[in-house]
Amino acid sequence: MSDIDEILLNFSPSSLMALNAILAIVMFSVALDLKLSDFQRLVRAPKPMLTGLFSQFLVLPILTFGLVLLTQPRASIALGLILVAACPGGNISNFITHRAGGNAALSVSMTAFATVGAILLTPFNIAFWGSLYAPTREILKATQIDPLQMAITVCLMLILPLILGILLNSRRPVWAARLRKPMQNLSMLIFMAFIVLALAANWQFFLDYVQYVAVLVIIHNALALGGGYAMGTLAGLAPFDRRAVTIETGIQNSGLGLVLIFGFFGGLGGMAVVAAFWGIWHAISGIVLARIMSRTEAAR
């Protein structure tokens, strides 16, 4: 069996462009739920938002690095975990938070703020934490990531559609209301279909190596959810807000992770399997957690 650190997945430039476009559509559909007043309200009461961002961009990377040091996985797998942890919250977190009976407006706003923060924080976290573990440091040296180019990629794919969605919702609320549900449903269906097709093109490789990452990803995701819950509790958030912070920390934008892996790391096998399995597992764990949480009404 080939070394997972050396295998590159089958993913064409046109497929990468398609994934970029799909993620832009998904982000646009999320932004149709936002208005500038949502951001002003959060500025007046910033504690839940700041707790979520702290959990997302500091607590989760620290927990991830601890997991890497403890388990000592192969270099590409370790860097895949670090990269996923460096990404902002995933778009399905908003849907899952709503199903969990949590603060969905806070979840949408956290996704938006984390996405803006990701321009600087995602490249920084990948470079910083990846350089602290010797095997991943070697991959970073070999790939020579351009943080500016990565920031531009994140900006074009996530920030621009976010701004366009907010502007449309603010200036043409009737149009936004008509587009919101169909766009959200369509974008998620297209995204899931794309992941399935990408996996199908590399199915044998995925089957051969998923056992090496499955347990790590499940533990990693549990740490993310647990870290978010712990931060919400330590900050004294109401359960209504704590559910949003918990889910936002545990649902990562693995689609963005795949774009960065194929765009900057050449589709490195271990990284890609980690991000792909994250994309499957966090949806399962999030929906199960939402079902458990929804059994009791959250105090506000």
Question: Which pTM value belongs to this model?
Answer: 0.85
Short-list 211, 215, 209, 194, CA closest to 259: 194
Short-list 5, 130, 142, 9, CA closest to 74: 5
Percent of all residues in the chain with a pLDDT value above 70, rounded to a whole number: 89
pLDDT confidence bin for 285, thresholds 50/70/90? very high
What are the DSSP calls for 142-198, one per residue? HHT--HHHHHHHHIIIIIHHHHHHHHHHHH-HHHHHHHHHHHHHHHHHHHHHHHHHH
Structure token pair of residue 268: 């490195």
| 136 three-state secondary structure | helix
What is the model's pLDDT at position 161? 86
Short-list 273, 270, 279, 275, CA closest to 258: 275
Pairwise CA distance, residues 56 & 267, whole Å: 25
pLDDT of residue 164 exceeding 70, the answer is yes
What is the model's pLDDT at position 230? 97
What is the model's pLDDT at position 1? 42
pLDDT of residue 188 exceeding 80, the answer is no
| Contact between residue 291 and residue 231 where contact means Cβ atoms under 8 Å apart | no
Structure token pair of residue 240: 């209504």
Q: What is the pLDDT of residues 214-273, one digit of tens each?
A: 899 999 999 999 999 999 999 999 999 999 999 999 999 888 888 888 888 877 878 888
What is the model's pLDDT at position 8? 55
Other Cβ atoms less than 10 A from the Cβ of 156: the count is 12
| Average pLDDT taken over every residue of the chain | 84
Which of 20-24, 43-47, 67-71, 170-174 has the largest mean confidence?
67-71
Name all domains of the chain by residue range, CATH numbers in brackets: 13-293 (1.20.1530.20)
